[in-house]
Amino acid sequence: MDAAFRTLGYSLTSRTESRLKVFTVQEARVYPKRTPRYEIRHLAWYKARFAAMEIEELYQQYCIRLKHWLLISLLMISVGYGSTLILIDIASTQTFKTEGEVMHITAGSVGTAITLLLLIVTCIEPLFRKLSAFITTLTWLTLLTGTYVYIGFNDCRSPTDDVPSIYFIIVVTYTMLPLSLLWAVLVGSITGLSQIFLAGFFALRNREYLEYQLIANCVIFLCANLVGLYHKYLTEIAHRRTFLDTRNCIESRIKLEHEREQQEKLLLSVIPVHLAVEMKNEMISKITFCSCRRPSNNKNPFSTTRFHELYVKSHNNVSILFSDIVNFTPLASECTAAQLVKMLNELFGRFDKLAQENDCLRIKILGDCYYCVSGLPVSRPNHATNCVKMGLKMIEAIRLVREATGVNVDMRIGIHTGNVLCGVLGLRKWQYDVWSDDVTLANHMESAGVPGRVHISRCTLMHLNNKFEVEPGYGQDRDQYIKERNTETYLIVPPEHGKVTLRTNGKQQYETDARASARMSKFLDSWGADKPFANLTEYTMAKNIGETSLAMMEASISPGACTADPRQWCKSEDIHSVSLTFHNTGMEVDYNKQPDTAFKYYVSCATLIFLCMAIVQGLMLPRRTGFIVGYGAGLVLFGSLSVISLAETFLGQRWCSNKVITFLARIAGMVTESLVARLGIASVSMATSLILAVVTITECDASERPESSNTTNTASGTGKCDFAPYYIFCSLMALTCCTVFLKVHFMLKFIFMLLAVTSYNLVLHLFDSQVFDYYDLHQYGTASFFMSTRLKGSIYLLVLLITLHILDRQTEHTSRLDFLWKTKFKVEHDEVETMGSLTKVLLENILPAHVAGHFLDSDRHNLGLYHESYSSVCVMFASIPNFKEFYHQNTINKQGLECLRLLNEIIAEFDMLLSKPKFSCVEKIKTIGSTYMAAAGLQPGKEENKVMNDDAEDYYNKPKNNPVDNSRSEHYINIMTEFALNMMNVLEGINRDSFNIFSLRIGINHGPVVAGVIGAQKPQYDIWGDTVNVASRMDSTGEMGKIHVPDKTAQVLMNSGFNCTLRGDIKIKGKEHPIRTHFITPS
């Protein structure tokens, strides 16, 4: 980025750096604490962050929308499940023989009907949003009571009949119902405990080894609750992260627009819109090019031209107005910094309003000189009339000041009509300006004018169409340039004061015994001019961004706008509707390259499910060789994977070997970063769990299986399979094990689950069907009204497969959406940084860096006028007198445009000198035609950077014997002189290349100055004071090729080793007595 700005000729004085939060931990003497390479933020952090940002309520609305279609999916699955059971019950019995059978089917039908009604109500989104808590509670109660009532009317009820349904309800409570984490834990626990209670007291059959069955059921429900809690915790973190990323992305967009608006305002405060667009596009193009990575052999297209870009346009038939405040210099000499800046801001602020009212464009402020143009950038036929009206109102405004305060100030105004070239020159401190012989003539019209009168040329008079009464001006008698041009001049006869629209608004006359500056300052307060950069509302930006982003997010939480809506999966422009992969291959690759910092939790949860399966099978199913070998190998596998995955968590613990844990942590880091490794571990874990769920079914001894319901069961662990449904329960847990790998692609998990369900059904209905048939015979005996365990098992497996697939798809979509938002946020964040840097450069191109920081960083709501007073600043004026001889307007040089191109190169080279660290204390102030003005020593905090309440005269008369101040002042003078000498060398090089003989005439002076920013519509930084005036006279009275300095500056330079030649005593404007001056002789 710095290279981009150096291409533009700028150097940033400060850079915004991202600050990382470092948590320091006291290290143990023997076992130093090591921080894991990857960390994920916990849910408590997100909750605290959301509470601090006051977006928790909005997030809860987002969660309701997110769970809405999951709840609809759950109700649809429930309706399908209930309808299937009812149809099977009806089909299995031709005639209902008992009242229990009728009640059984009736209960199922009523429960399904209630679920269908809930589905219809839930689909009505406005109603659901109002009654979400009620609908959620009713859904849970319907599922739970429907299960118990449906099973309760079965005469063959056993402790295991409703275990799959309860397991399913617990899982969906955490994953599909819009409940908070605390409520989900409470509801899931109640659901599991209720089954244990009912099974223990109301089971009618198969009560042998009831305590074993209840313990196994507790393990299954505990597993369901823990897996649900795990899924709820991690998915809520993912949802909060996605929500936060979405808000950040929206904020970036708003901030980007804000930066663009600020940039427009800053640029338009210096340059009219017709040039601003061209310059801004050029700057952005250069920054974009330099920010992009490109091969070293590619050349910068912006460096192929020999010249710097020239932003100058020509305009014909315009009128130029120059004005000067008469007697302002002595008035300013007695002002404090605050009074002077405030006075100028009020005066020129009023003049800016008058210019706007009269269709004039203010060009520049030079001390107390104000000049503007009418007829550009939009051509106006009445441009001369506009300027005359503007001049008359300026005189009237000053008249009011004079009459109200008794201060002898007036306006001298000159107007000329002709053609101009307008634009900006150089690389730094752009100021819109105009050039041409007609502009020079307009300037001389002002200097040859009469106080209180508008002085116009004959060209201007010809465009007035007799709208004003005039009288001879005799300007040629007062100015040699006008006389050489043989220009006739006239004075506008002022109208009567009663016809002027400006009034004193009844303001009282101020005390005549007060100082003139104080009286004038008090009167100008009543004008109420805007402060500089009042249009930049940075202090409210953060609040506005927050409010706007929340409003946009609230708008996005509307019907059909939520990402959980399956309809949105098919409409995404970035994500494939079926596979949920990104259309952009590069983005897909980047997504897969992401490290998965939560993978260790996936493995831990899979290990938990494996242990629960082992406990259940150990309690209720045969424990022979297959069980020992299979689960022994599984224990080694899952134990190893868990230790490796959690190795980083163990870093720094006293009870473990640092070398071993460090090695394992390195492996864990590789797994976290490698997609292949994660897919391999996930595949092995899923396959192992799915296989072990039914592996011991092959050890069931058919010869020892019971043949009737009267057979007495032996202890579990023998070859008998008296509790065959637990194979189905373990299969359900194994399917759930697939879904705990949240970041594994849902299609891979679906393939594993589909293969597993297919295999389980083959076991149920083909390979080991007799195991479940013997169980049904033992369970139901000769009962005619029952559904076979094999058929129920197939239904349970299919329902859970569909449910988990919907969850996996939604989790995948949320994860990819989060990545998409992060990617967009990163791109827009880079754009915001670029725009912010560009805005800062633009502002620093208008103001010095420290002044720009003042306006950007301060609370603008309470920001006053910016002003500073310095006791010793070195000021330089460097002009090229013979450029006027070089400048000609003809068709060959495009009416002077090519002459300005060369001047632009000269000024740009001078500006580039400022980029050298040696001249960092030199600040360019402005350019006036071919004159370059700069100052050294304007850094804040180095001088008297404060608002002075005492009189300026008393302040400047205070003794300044501080050695530190004197040393700093000498440093500034030396640096400025070296800068002037470097300018001479640069100009000599340009002369050699362009075959010209330009020469600099330089004047330097040092002393106290007042600095400040004035002008609301076009803020301008400037410095004032006698030091500035004398430096200007040193230039105008100097000689070409020499540096002209007063005696006090020469003494400092001679003490520093510079060669100075005495010139003598000369008379300069503004000084009663001649002053002694010297020329600096280059060594």
The Cα angle at residue 176 between residues 175 and 182, in degrees rounded to 5? 60
* Number of other CB atoms surrounding residue 685 within 10 Å: 26
Residues 383, 460: Cα–Cα separation, whole Å: 9
CB 865 within 8 A of CB 521: no
Residues 356, 416: Cα–Cα separation, whole Å: 19
User: 976 to each of 394, 924, 927, how far by Cα in Å?
Assistant: 38, 11, 17
Hey, what amino acid is at 423?
A: G
Residues 1002, 854: Cα–Cα separation, whole Å: 32
Phi then psi for residue 706, to 5 deg, are -65, 145
Give the distance from CA 251 to its chain's centroid: 6
Element (H, E) at 484: helix 480-484
Q: Is 130 a catalytic residue?
A: no
Phi then psi for residue 549, to 5 deg, are -65, -40
β-pairing, 931-936 with 1020-1024? unpaired
Closest CA to 611 of 631, 628, 593: 631
Catalytic residue among 253, 822, 1033, 1042: 1033
Which single residue is written with the structure tokens 């995404």? 572
CB 699 within 8 A of CB 624: yes
Helices 56-92, 541-556: crossing angle, 10 deg rounding: 10
- How does 320-342 read in b/e, with b if 16+ C-beta sit within 10 Å? bbbbbbbebbebbbebbbbbbbb
3-class secondary structure, 414: strand
β-pairing, 361-366 with 369-374? antiparallel
β-pairing, 1020-1024 with 433-435? unpaired
Q: Is 1069 a catalytic residue?
A: yes
Residues 730, 689: Cα–Cα separation, whole Å: 9
Catalytic residue among 960, 1069, 1071, 1076: 1069
Written as one string, the DSSP assignment of 104-144 is HHHHHHHHHHHHHHHHHHHHSHHHHHHSHHHHHHHHHHHHH
CB 404 within 8 A of CB 432: no
Residues 6 or more apart whose CB falls under 8 angstroms from that of 108 comprise 82, 85, 86, 89, 146, 150
Give the distance from CA 150 to its chain's centroid: 57
Residues 367, 1077: Cα–Cα separation, whole Å: 24
Residues 1024, 713: Cα–Cα separation, whole Å: 108
Strands, E, within 546-586: which ranges? none
User: 243 to each of 33, 229, 285, 806, 965, how far by Cα in Å?
Assistant: 34, 21, 34, 21, 56
β-pairing, 369-374 with 454-457? unpaired
| Residues in a beta bridge with 935 | 875, 923
DSSP annotation of 558: S
Residues 199, 15: Cα–Cα separation, whole Å: 69
CB 763 within 8 A of CB 733: no
Residues 741, 603: Cα–Cα separation, whole Å: 8
- 998, two tokens: 């330009």
**162 class by beta-carbon count within 10 Å (0-12 exposed, 13-18 middle, 19+ buried):** buried
Which single residue is written with the structure tokens 């984490």? 181
Residues 879, 980: Cα–Cα separation, whole Å: 11
- 490, two tokens: 């006239």
Q: Which residues are catalytic?
A: 1033, 1069
